Structure 1
Amino acid sequence: MKIFRSLALVSLGLMVSACASVDVPSRNLPFEATPDAAVSVPEGYETLPQIDPLPALRVSSVTVSVPRSLTVSEANSYLPKGDIVWREDPFGDRYTQVQAIVQRAMEAGSTGLEGPIDAALNVEVQRFHALTQKARYTTGGIHAITFKMRLTDLATGALLRPEKVVEADLKAFGGARALEAMSRGQTQKVRITGHLANVIRQELTKPGSYQNPRLGLLQAFQ
């Protein structure tokens, strides 16, 4: 009995000693991330990537250009070839007409920002493909619009962010739906202006967050 009692005491002592030496595994700690709201970073942790502070700006200058190197199509077909297709204004200088639409949209989308960085927004239209008369009153289609944006410091001219090409396509109404939209004042010009204003607003306040919508097979042919 004394032998068994001695063995039991020795076993109990070993168990207590083992429990006292147990530690939480720490091999994964350096790869864990702390929440955004952490005031300080404990040893063994790494910080999460920080959000880009650029949205804290105000746009004091907006310049929109439509290069004369872009081709204009006046063909009344479903998918005319050309960089600029615009029919809702009377026949005339399509470059000037498109510039006025995009200028108005960019000014509307960039107004009201109150950040400390005084910025200049420069936009170059690369494609402005609205609907022809034939597509407008039958099948509808896609307003295929592409522009390049450039943000610079108004005082120094330094780039605040790399130039970016933005594709900003919009579903275009056709047939009865187009007529119904026009009766409510939702012309092509109104819809495109509002859409572009929303796109540039998103790019200015949440850089890189805008994604061009997927509008089906027709989008690939625009």
Structure 2
Amino acid sequence: MKNIRVAMLALAAVAVSACAGPQAATRNAVSASPNEATALTQPQSNTQSSVAKKSGDNLYIPDVNIARITVSVPKTLKVSEKNTYYPNGDIIWRGDLFGDRHAQVEAILQNSAEQAAANLQGARPAHMHIQLTRFHGLTEKARYSTGGVHNINFYVTLLDPVTGETIRPAEHVVTNLDALRGTEAIQADTLGNTQKFRITTFLAGVLAAEIGEPEGYNDENRGFFVALNRN
């Protein structure tokens, strides 16, 4: 019985080591404040008009047209290139060749936001600003063994594109996308369904829901790795 218990604990330890989000999977999760160096994420006002309504803790702005997109990936976010199951870092990304990881994940967020904006064709122009707080893809070691989740978290702020006034204060969005692993991941790569493609498409849907739906986006991933990393 003792040997069985030791084996189960070892298995759980390996599972936890796969990259996943330790934050509670909720849009209202307690998190670090937006980086003060990025002024756009600092709410200037919380004025509600007849075109804005409160839905839970989310200020919903209906009929939005995204006229401008900006993305901030603060240099203070730590990058890890260690090929371990769960590196200590804010940005863990292997879906591009080795290079400027801040710039690479910024490009992913920009592309995702542009795809989301194509589905937000309302009458009220808005400037969508995104500030990354965490981008965890999988390391090679985790991707080809234990698997895990892609945990990507960020603030989204809506501003008036002309005056710069905040029309929807910064909301922290927490996301977890189940990652492919092993043979499945290799086969997906050959078909073009890479980590980068999957994450970009996923985040486009997240942003479209966050801005375009009254309840915003809620991470409903209750998978094994998410649950383990929440404890």
Q: Is the 8 A contact 1:124 1:149 kept in 2?
A: yes
2:190 to 165, 183, 203: 183
Structure 2: segments with no counterpart, 5+ residues: 1-52
Over 3 Å counting, the alpha-carbon distance change for 1:214 and 1:174 in structure 2 is same
| SS of match in other structure, 2:70 | strand
Number of the residue aligned with 1:82: 89
Pairing of 1:1-222 with structure 2 (within 5 A):
54-219=61-226, 220-221=228-229
Q: Aligned AA for 2:138?
A: L
Deviations 1:50-99 (A, max 9, x none): 98872201001000110000011111011111100011211111101111
Aligned equivalents of 1:117, 1:123: Cα separation in 2 = 19
Equivalenced residue count is 174
Aligned equivalents of 1:205, 1:217: Cα separation in 2 = 29
Aligned equivalents of 1:157, 1:115: Cα separation in 2 = 19
Q: Aligned AA for 1:206?
A: E
- Tell me how large the CA RMSD over aligned residues is: 2.0
Q: Is the 8 A contact 1:142 1:169 kept in 2?
A: yes
Q: Aligned AA for 1:71?
A: K
| SS of match in other structure, 1:204 | helix
Larger Rg: 1
How far has the Cα of 1:215 moved from its partner?
3.7
| SS of match in other structure, 2:66 | strand
Structure 1: segments with no counterpart, 5+ residues: 1-48
Q: Is the 8 A contact 1:171 1:215 kept in 2?
A: no
Q: Aligned AA for 1:70?
A: L
TM-score by length of 2: 0.70
TM-score by length of 1: 0.73
Q: Is the 8 A contact 1:106 1:197 kept in 2?
A: yes
Over 3 Å counting, the alpha-carbon distance change for 1:122 and 1:97 in structure 2 is same
Aligned equivalents of 2:223, 2:66: Cα separation in 1 = 35
Q: Is the 8 A contact 1:119 1:154 kept in 2?
A: yes
Higher relative contact order (CA 8 A, sep 6+): 2
Bigger mean CA offset, 211-220 vs 143-152: 211-220
Runs of 4+ in 1 over 3 A off after TM superposition: 49-53
Q: Aligned AA for 2:87?
A: P
| SS of match in other structure, 1:124 | strand
How far has the Cα of 1:155 moved from its partner?
1.6
Q: Aligned AA for 2:159?
A: T
How far has the Cα of 1:118 moved from its partner?
1.0
How far has the Cα of 1:112 moved from its partner?
4.2
